[in-house]
Amino acid sequence: MVQNATDYFTGQTSTDFLDPTNWASGELPTDYHEINITGTESAPVTAVIGSTYTTEVPSLTIGDYGTLKITACDTSSATAAPVFTATALQIFDTGSLIVDTSSPVQLGINEISGTLTIDDSSNVTITSGGLSGDGTVNLNHSTLGAESAGVVLDNLMTVNLTGGSTVYTQGNGTGGVINFDPSTQNMVVLDQSYSTVDTVFNNVSENSEFAINGTSGIVPVSASYSANSNGSYTLTIETSNDQTITLGNINVENGYTPGSLTVTEDKAGDYVIADSNLSSSIVSGWPPGHDHSSSCDDNTGSGGSCNNGGTDHHHDGCTIPTWWDHGSCSNPSPLPWNGQGDCSGHTSSCDTHTDNNFWDCVAKDHYSDCKTDWSNWTNTTTSTGGCGSQIEDWHAGSCTVAAHTSDCTQQTQWASIFPHSCG
């Protein structure tokens, strides 16, 4: 058996992963090289993958004081091949892997003692089905896992959810600690075959949502909080088959007192358990972290390679983006974009379909460089009624000038991402 050679990233020329002079061998690693990115406390090392790296890495080690940042993107199609693939992954205590692209990235068998950060993506696949170790996973406006493939989280792992993120867990692999950002809407989806969840949930607020995976066959019918003697709370979920699911370690945000809860089926088919003060349209809409196209879009704004003009399309700190609610976090409007920089000023037969209005705004969020074009186009054309009251200056996700005159055109163009009928 031939032992794979190890190639070390030195960074002696730059941070460019794809520059051969930054490697100890003087050449780019091949598919038989094990890759090692390690620095020291006084001389940390950072490698950046800014273009698609087609070589499948058999083993990736990010050692102490080493960082690998992936910003590469492939806009060729929604089914683009991964821009980076590692069959095995190890991250040491002070090591860090940052995925800052919405293009597909595949990570295999892993042991994480350091930090895995995923920014603005729903396309990181854990091919081994789980994350192992006692490290930290940061999700920012991202989704990890899916309805059909939840991720098993080690019971020593910490997960931080910020900026509108969703994590799909599997079985009793729900992690050791999950920290919610109380100011943004984030969700934990349980694929629950266990009656007791031992995970500690911190900073739970009105914006924090728990859900039961719709593919699990378990249908929650009611949920309620009860106070524990130590100041924490227990969430008890009753299901249609007389099963009780208990989350007994819930620590709430300072000043928040849990109240009544609703159980609502969302657009993904999951059953969301949310504070009754949350708007029903928000709870039943597409879950946090799901508003990502599957190909790379304008998601960088911070140095990545697919930035079209340097515009960052990250959402703000509101439960929903400020462009949806006139710049205020307190009074969201369900009405769609009017071509004037907000989502107001339109009434049609489709206004009751919140997800349709959501497509309209998300399209403009993902193709923010076209906003000026949209406004100019709208100001010089005539309304056709229905969902087409503003003529779209885009076609199938591109920024070409192609006026759509039929009603509800955005439903047709975005059906593969946001499936719903706007009848």
Express each pLDDT in 372-416 by its tens digit: 333 333 333 333 223 333 333 333 333 333 333 333 344 344 333
Same domain, 177 and 193: yes
- The proportion of the chain whose per-residue pLDDT surpasses 90, expressed as a percent, equals 56
Mean pLDDT calculated for residue range 280-303: 54
Same domain, 275 and 399: no
Helix, coil or strand: residue 85: strand
Q: Is 343 part of any domain? A: yes
Domain containing residue 402: 320-423
Same domain, 256 and 277: yes
Mean pLDDT calculated for residue range 339-345: 35
- The proportion of the chain whose per-residue pLDDT surpasses 70, expressed as a percent, equals 65
Contact 273, 204 (CB under 8 A): no
Same domain, 115 and 5: yes
Same domain, 304 and 241: no
Alpha helix (H) ranges present in 188-241? none
CA pair distance 360, 292, nearest whole angstrom: 13
Give every CB contact of residue 145 below 8 A, 6+ residues apart in sequence.
126, 151, 167, 168, 169, 170, 189
Same domain, 36 and 132: yes
Contact 82, 76 (CB under 8 A): no
Same domain, 261 and 314: no
Contact 352, 370 (CB under 8 A): no
Q: Is 149 part of any domain? A: no
pLDDT at site 300? 36
Per-residue pLDDT band for 319 (boundaries 50, 70, 90) equals very low
Inform me whether the pLDDT recorded for 192 exceeds 70.
Answer: yes
Q: Is 158 part of any domain? A: no
CA pair distance 11, 220, nearest whole angstrom: 53
In angstroms, what is the C-alpha Rg of the chain? 23
pLDDT tens-digit map of 199-213 = 999 999 999 999 999
Same domain, 281 and 314: no
Same domain, 94 and 199: no
Per-residue pLDDT band for 267 (boundaries 50, 70, 90) equals confident
Question: pTM of the full predicted structure?
Answer: 0.72
pLDDT tens-digit map of 70-113 = 999 876 555 678 999 999 999 999 999 999 998 999 999 999 99
Same domain, 245 and 287: yes
Q: Is 361 part of any domain? A: yes
Same domain, 304 and 346: no
Contact 363, 410 (CB under 8 A): yes
Inform me whether the pLDDT recorded for 337 exceeds 90.
Answer: no
Same domain, 395 and 261: no
Q: Is 207 part of any domain? A: yes
pLDDT at site 278? 87
Helix, coil or strand: residue 216: helix
Question: Could you tell me the two tokens for 150?
Answer: 């939840």
Q: Which of 184-198, 332-346, 384-398 has the highest mean pLDDT?
A: 184-198
Q: Is 164 part of any domain? A: no
pLDDT at site 77? 53
